[in-house]
Amino acid sequence: MKKVVIGLSGGVDSSVAAYLLQQQGCEVIGLFMKNWHDESVTISNECPWLEDSNDAMLVAEKLNIPFQVVDLSAAYKDRIVDYMFNEYKMGRTPNPDVLCNREIKFDVFMKIALSLGADYVATGHYCRKGIIDVKGTETYQLLAGKDTNKDQSYFLCQLSQEQLSKTLFPIGELTKPEVRKIATELDLITANKKDSQGLCFIGKVKLPDFLQQKLQPKEGNIITIAKDSEIFNRVIPEFKNKEEELQFFATKYTYNESDGKIVGKHQGAHYFTKGQRKGLAVGGTKEPLFVIETDVNTNTIYTGEGKTHKGLYRKVLFITNEELHFIRTDLALKSNESLKVKARIRYRQPLENAEIFKIDNGLYVAFENEQSAITEGQFAAWYLEDELIGSGVIS
């Protein structure tokens, strides 16, 4: 009998995942991860983790499985919160959900589960796991969830073969409505619970409020750059080779305050991210303003009018070797190799045609079509068909 520890989050997906494992004859243990209780960072009077852990406990009682709360807040602070503050300080935009899976759920949490004698760890993610034979080696695949609307493979883009070998995704073959239907039939308290928003595990908190706890507000200028600015008419040189061409197109536009006009003030460049539209509080423009670049050194935000503004678009991005990761290690490229893939640069984005090119110090992802708001610190992930084979942090 397989012993499986499931991360019960107090949501409907993990609740149904636990039930399905039971139906398959597994011995199931439910653990709730408590990852944040730093009272100095006031988040809100409502304490979501208490409510969530209570719901998780009620689900465990209903299914008659053992349940306990594990406190991972020290590891969470070290590996996620501090990393996030650091990234924002450098003007990058990290993805806490991807990190949380790599560092907490499938590392710290998995080690606890295995120490309890578990054969596997299960989660309520909408994705699937495949097992294939590659030259006599059992190889694990991370496949998109059947529910294309809810596919969460992107959030797991940093997992390793080792982590996948010990993981189960019980609801990967189901759609969200099917999951809700099962929960309703079982009369689980989580059946109609809304999907959680806000930071992974920090609870109901808006990111700028959270960041203001550690990054002091500091007034700076909001500059708008005209659509037809000279900056966007750069001359395309003759390229000696493919690498030179990729490097040229991966280089972003650079702006100075003198390139545009001041249209307002902001409270800190590190609170803003590329492509952002809300929170600028600048009126009187024909089309809404979008952030096209932030400069944390001069504490300046550069904006452009309308979502078709040239400053938002690029075709090529670069990932350094240190931040490059192949789930399918057998498909990892060597220098000067390339591969046609489908790729995305954010969770909800439809997959786009692209080609990846490996060079000595990293990897380029070159898209067929220009991409809006390629953002440093976020993860690019690439797929063959519905299999996520690799990812990396956009540099």
Do the Cβ atoms of 291 and 225 come closer than 8 Å?
Answer: no
How many whole angstroms separate alpha carbon 124 and alpha carbon 31? 13
How many whole angstroms separate alpha carbon 84 and alpha carbon 79? 9
DSSP 8-state symbol, 193: P
> Active-site residue 127, yes or no?
no
Residue type, 107: D
| Beta strand ranges found along 115-269 (DSSP E) | 120-122, 127-134, 137-144, 167-168, 220-224, 261-266
**Sign of dihedral through CA atoms 63, 66, 69, 75?**
negative
How many whole angstroms separate alpha carbon 220 and alpha carbon 8? 43
How many whole angstroms separate alpha carbon 384 and alpha carbon 382? 7
Distance of CA 52 to the CA centre of its chain: 22
Burial class (CB in 10 A: 0-12, 13-18, 19+), 23: exposed
Q: Which of 26, 47, 100, 127 is catalytic?
A: 100
Active centre residues (catalytic): 100, 200
